[in-house]
Structures are given as structure tokens and as C-alpha cells.
Amino acid sequence: METQAQKVPTDGVVRDLFHAMKSHRLWIAGLLTVLTFLVFSPVLRFGFVNFDDGAYVTENPRVLAGLSWQNVIWAFSFDSCEPTSNWHPLTWLSLMADVTIFGAQAGPMHAVNLVLHLINVVLLFLVLEKMTGATEASAFVAAVFGVHPLHVESVAWISERKDVLSTLFILLTIRCHLLHVQTGRFVWNAAALVLFLLSLMSKQMYVTLPFLLLLFDYWPLRRLSAAPNGDHVKSVRSVIVAFRSAKERPFAERKATSQSVIDRTFLKSATVWPLVREKIPLLLTAVLFSVVAFAGQRSGGAVGSLEDYSILQRVLNACVSYAAYLSQTVWPLNLAVFYPYPDQLPWGRAALSLVLLGGITLAVIRLRDRHPELPVGWFWYLGTLVPVIGLVQIGRQSMADRYMYFPMTGLLVAVTWLAVGITRDQPGRRRVLQICGISVVLLLAVAGRIQTTYWKDSLTLFTRAAAAAESSLAYTKLGYERAQQREFDAATTLLHRALRLDPDYTAAHSSLGNTYLAEGNAELALQHFHRVIELQPDHAEAHYNLGIIYARLGQVSTAVLHYEAALKASPKDASIHSNLGIAFLMLGRKPEALNHLERALELQPDLPEAHFTLGSVLAAEGREAEAIGHLKQGLQSRPDAAEAHERLGQLYLSQGETALGEHHLQQAAEYRKPVSEQSADPGQSRGSARP
């Protein structure tokens, strides 16, 4: 009898499309692409959002510089973990490539995310169809995968490039594994390992892949001799019976009898060990990258300690999250970009969730003989979520939509193949099932389109987040956005609401400090920045802003202390070096000032404040040519700096360059404002871009 594994075609990944062109698969792939594109096309007009996009793109000098050998080396080094607490070199290289090709524009980056998602939709359809031979069921699963609102976060958020990119490589890994199963050729096994490495270098989400492939060996590939009729379980029982029946016999006879049963059960009739053995390279790779992922998160301070989240709290939250993901899959409403971690142990919800999860698990195990797709799909869902379910707590969220990008597929497979199996010999019910399937896809497409619109900009995104899942982070982000629009009253109201939810939330205190500083209320700003330092003594931005305030108040020595504390926490921050250099100049400590200003320009060659200050110092020393060079470089980044134009005009006039001198003096007069001491000002405050 021909097995499902033998039905896997021998054509390669590249030839899949060629063969699809000869059949209906091409039309299905086209329809899936068009439908998914219609749902997500609004993202092409969206910009960046104030939630990790700064760390990944807009405030990341490495990414903004584009591809270069130096940046490639950085991407593969552990220094790249600093901005995001993640080691994902291929994600960095992908974003750098976008900047190199298109510039630092949000539209093309959104387009790349969307294209990767479209490819994933088609690949998922092809992989499922190859494994099962069920075209309609595979198309339905791929369609739901393509349009489901839970997947909007992975596609519409530029920072989640790692989701769509790593999934692309994991689907290709599965495809190559199928070719290895069919042909037995080592080249496909090696290709699967390489693609698995590429996936893990994009995001370490899929470290459980070896176990998923073992599930596929059970069904639909049916490579286990004991599946799905339960013989393997019976064989295990026979070992137990043999041990019990032989316990009264002499030791030598008992050992021989038991060993005979074990050999007969596991080495001759079962095929588990060869299947495990072929996946050992993948398993070792997964273990290695699990360590890498934990080290990267730990180095960035993203891993919560047991003091913050106890083991019991993590387990309870994991149970609740598993159940919540099930609910959101069926009824994807009130989705949010951030779900806050519960302040108290959710005993009631956890108990109900545990009963639900346990009941489903027992049911799928009991039904495994008639419906082997049920345990495969269910454990696909449970297993692929393990790295992000919160047992190792990352960040402040209890769960996240993006974590369901691939795990949801297991649920879809289980339910879809169950429905198809039940209606296989009933044409009438089969037609009803098809109509229901089309209706579900269309309803999810509408919901997905609506969910996509919430990612239009930061204000829309966090207004929705606050309404769907009230959190201190959402209100802090909203307060930040209102402050950027100089709506200070609205900003302070929102930020105080954030502090009512979490009085010790450093990002809210930091944003309040910046808001009060922008209003000119230095006293209240100082209170909140000092509160940040109490909560987090090594908070670089709070020390930086305290340095700015004390410098403006004339307490330059105190400002230096805070700048130095900020520099200790963030030694590669060019702005801190620049402001510390300016503060040292104000104290008359010129050599130290020049060292920090030069270091600032090494770290960020286009930093205008450092150029303006160095230009002023060099001009005072009579080094006019060097001063002109620095002032001109600074004006390239900040052309409206009136003081710099004035100094440059005076330098040109002193050298007899009358036309240039008058031009820059005229520019200075045009740009001059009541308060514009750009080069002498010890810095501009900055808010927390990543609460």
C-alpha cells in the first residue's frame, strides 16, 4: 500500500512553481495572493510607529547606514543585541538592505514585510498539499493563515520583520525535509539544516521544529510503524507486562526475557529511533540557538527575574495565554499591540484554562486512531508556542498576537482535516462545509482589513490598544504622542493615568519629566527624573535629562555627574559624549571636553552639536579652516542652526570671503529665534522611545 510519504513528489523547491503552472494549484496560489494582498495593502501607506521601530530602524545608526562590511560584522556580533535584546543577524541585514535599496522609508519596508507574508501563504499551501494531497483543505488553511487578524501584527509592524522572515525559512526547511523523506538523499537533509539555521538567525522562535517534524512523521507522512493504530502503545504495555510476569524468575532468566521483549518492541517493530536520529543535527542546532536566544535577551535586560515573576505565576499565565489564544483564533476581536502582565495570580481563569487544555489534550489522544490529525495539530499548537508562552518571561507582556503567526496553523490543520474527514462520504454536508469555509475566510478577511487600519500611526495604534487592553504602556505611548504634538495638558493626563495603573513605571515618569521640561516646569521635571533614578539607578536617559536640566540651571558640576552616570550606562551614546564635552567646556576643562567631542563624532559623524561646539573652540584658537569644516558639516544635519550660520559667516568675512560671509549671516537672521543657542546649549531633552 502506498504511503503518504511515498506520494511526496521528487521535484525540488524551485520546480514547485513550474509544476503548479500545469495545474489548478497556480490558480489557487494566485487567489490566495490576491486575497491576502487586499487585506494588507493599506500598510503600504503607513509610517513607522513609536514601538520598537526606533530601535530597529529610525534611531539605529547601523541600519540607517545601510549595508556595509562593517555593519555585516556588527549584525553577527553580540553587540547587535544591545538595541533590541535579540540576536537576529539576518533580520538586521534585511532591514539594512531595505535602506540601501530604498532609503530609510517606511513604505518600502512595509512592502517587503507584505511580500514575505504573501510568499509564506503560498508556501504553506504548497507544503500542506504535498504532505496530505488534500488541495481544498490546504487552500483553506493557507487562506485563513493569510488573512487572520492575529497575523496583522507580524505583517503591519516593521519591527516584526523577523516573524515573516524566519517563517519563510522554516517553511522551506519543512519542504526540504519532505524531499529528504521521499528521496533519502543527503543533499536535502543538508539543505534543511542550512535553512533551519537561516530561520534561527532571523528569530529563535522555531527551536521546537525537530519535534514538529516528528509529529509529521506520525501524520500525515505515517513513517511510524505504530501509527495511527495504537500498536506502539500496546507494545509499551507489553514491556510492562513482561517485567511483571518475570519478577519471580531467576535474575538471569528475567533479564533475558525482558531484553527480548524490549528488542522486539523498540528495535525491530518500531521506527522511532531512526526518525529521531535523522533529526539530531536539527536538535543540536535548536539547543545551541536556545542558549543564544536566552543570552541575548538576558544581556538586554529583557528576561524577567523570579523576583518579578514567580514560577507559579508564569505557569498560571501560560495556561491562561494558551486558552486566550484559542479564543482569539475563533473570535479575533479586541486585539491589542500589548497585553499587560496580570498584577495578581489569575487563579480562577487559570483553573478554567487548565481544565480546557487538559480536556482537549485527553480528547485528541483518545481520538488519535480515527483522527490522527487531531493530536498532530494540537501538539503543533502547544509545542511551537513553548518558547514564547512565558515560562521564560520576556518583557512586560503576558502574551502577543505575533506569537500566533505559525502556531495557529496547527489548530487550523486539526479542525480542517477533522471536518473534511467527517464529511468525506456525504456530498451534501461537504457542500455545506465548503460554503461555511468560504464564509469564514471572507469574514476573517474583513476583520483582518479592519485590524490592519489600526497600524496607521502611533496615535491610532495605542488609542486602540488602550481601549482593547488598558495598560500603562499604552497610556504612556499616547501621552508621548500628545506631547510631541505639544498638547501638554492631554499628555500629562494620559501619563498620570499610566502611573495610576503602575506607579513605578519608569517610562511614564520619564515621559512626564520630558513633558514638564517642554512646558518649562523644571521643578516637576526634576521630580520625575529623580524618581526614575530611584527605580532604575542605571537609567541612561533619566541621567542624561537631569544633566541637561542642571546645566541649564547653572549647576554644571552636578550636570557632569549625571552625564557621567548616563555614559556609564550607555558608553556608545554620541549625544551623551557631546553634552559632557560641552559641560566640561563650561567648567574650563578643555582637554576632557575635546576628548568627548571627538569621541562623539567617532560614534556619530553627523552629530551637529559636536560639530558646532568643536567649530567654536577651533575658531577661538585661530584654526579657522578646521572650524569652517566642522561648522559646515554640522549645518548639513541641522541647516536651521542660526548660531552656526552666524559663526560661519564671521569666519568667511575674516578670510575675505565676503559673498559667503554675507550669505551665512543672512541665513542666521532668517533662522534666528528668541532662544537658539544651539552650540552652547548643553543639550536637548529626549523622551523614552521604548517604554
pLDDT band at residue 653, thresholds of 50, 70 and 90?
confident
Chain position carrying cell 521535484:
11
Nearest to 32 by CA among 125, 152, 116, 108: 125
pLDDT reported for residue 234? 44
- Whole-number percent of the chain with pLDDT over 90: 66
For 181-222, give the DSSP string: HHH--HHHHHHHHHHHHHHHTT-TT-TTHHHHHHHHHHTTS-
* pLDDT-above-70 percentage for the chain: 85
pLDDT band at 250 (very low <50, low <70, confident <90, very high): low
Provide the CA 284 distance to its chain's centre, in angstroms.
24
Q: Which residues 6+ apart lie within 8 Å of 680 measured at CB?
A: 582, 613, 616, 643
pLDDT in tens, 88-105: 999 999 999 999 999 999
The per-residue pLDDT for range 395-437, each reduced to its tens digit, is 678 899 999 999 999 999 999 999 999 998 888 899 999 999 9
pLDDT of residue 308: 66
**CA-to-CA separations, 515 to 32, 470, 485, 540, in angstroms, rounded:** 47, 22, 11, 18
Q: Please give the model's pTM, rounded to 2 decimal places.
A: 0.84
Q: What is the pLDDT of residue 394?
A: 67
| Residue written as grid cell 539543505 | 191
Over residues 206-231, the mean pLDDT reads 81
pLDDT of residue 248: 52
What is the pLDDT averaged over residues 299-312? 61
**H helices within 263-406, ranges in order?**
272-277, 280-299, 311-330, 347-366, 373-385
Sign of the dihedral defined by the CA atoms of residues 32, 36, 41, 46, in that order? negative
Dist CA 412 CA 389 (whole Å): 19
Which pLDDT value is given to residue 16? 59
Q: Which residue has the higher pLDDT, 95 or 654?
A: 95
Using CA atoms, how far apart are residues 112 and 484, in angstroms rounded to an integer?
Answer: 29
Cell for 651? 569666519
* DSSP classification of residue 269: I
Using CA atoms, how far apart are residues 537 and 562, in angstroms rounded to an integer? 11
Q: What is the pLDDT of residues 120-172, one digit of tens each?
A: 999 999 999 999 999 999 999 999 999 999 999 999 999 999 999 999 999 99
Check if the beta carbon of residue 656 is closer than 8 Å to that of residue 629. no
